[in-house]
Amino acid sequence: MVIVHGLFGMLDNWHNIAKKLSDEFTVLTVDVRNHGNSPHSDVINYPTVADDLLELVEDQGLSHAHFVGHSMGGKAVMELSNIHPHIIDKLVVVDIAPKRYKPGHLDLFEAMFSLPVEELSSRSEADEALKTKIPTDGIRLFLLKNLQRNPEGGYQWKVNLKAIRANYDDIIGDVQLNWPFVNDVLFIRGEKSNYIKDSDLDEIYEYFPNADLVTIPNAGHWVHAENPTQFVDALEDFLNA
């Protein structure tokens, strides 16, 4: 199983889920290009990330796998089903539809670009500096996981903010699917999230005719973090069917 994180995320975000699933599956968690410890690139869009995933699978000596993608990662694995469908057994898309979304991260970009990371002495200082622009504790904690200390002092962003901002229109854009993907697919959404609306289902079923939809209660967009038990149950039920 290959797990692909969302925007501003990293493979560490999925450590607990991967651990729960590791009794039944060999789990690979991925840092998408320009995120985590992966290389930086001027380009990040869904075809390039799908190609990266193909290269990863081939480098591991695998011919196919289950793929799980959250948010941006969900669009990446949908693109993978379009251009490299032969490497996918079952597909799980977490809280994202193939449509274009309105820009929802501009305030986060502004806050992160404005943070004088090279002058920081601690993460708590960074947290305090971001409070006025990002008042939600959980979002700040999520973003600050991207900070890493410089050996010579101060911090730097692990995430390639400049490239992600330059390619942001592609990231929020729709996934261009040329034909239906006929393998089994599970879409998982959070009950409190509006990322997958009922009005999106006709398009989803058009491109993924063998898809099912599960709504996880007491969870928003970060379904796997907000209700991990029922998320893992839904995942296991689908993959073991």
Contacts of 55 (CB under 8 A, 6+ apart): none
Other C-beta atoms lying within 10 Å of the C-beta of residue 116: 11
Residues forming beta bridges with residue 114, ordered by sequence position: none
H-helix or E-strand containing 10?
none
Report the alpha-carbon distance of residue 10 to residue 20 in Å, rounded. Answer: 18
Catalytic annotation present for 71: yes
Q: Which amino acid is at 210?
A: N
Q: Are 112 and 133 in contact (CB under 8 A)?
A: no
CA distance 136 to 129: 13
Structure tokens at 198: 């009922």
Q: Which candidate in 66, 70, 71, 193 is catalytic?
A: 71
Q: Distance between CA 83 and CA 90 in Å, rounded? A: 15
**8 Å CB contact between 29 and 53:** no
d(CA 80, CA 135): 36
Task: Catalytic residue, from 35, 66, 221, 224: name it.
Answer: 221
**Known catalytic residue at 114:** no
Q: Which residues are catalytic?
A: 71, 221
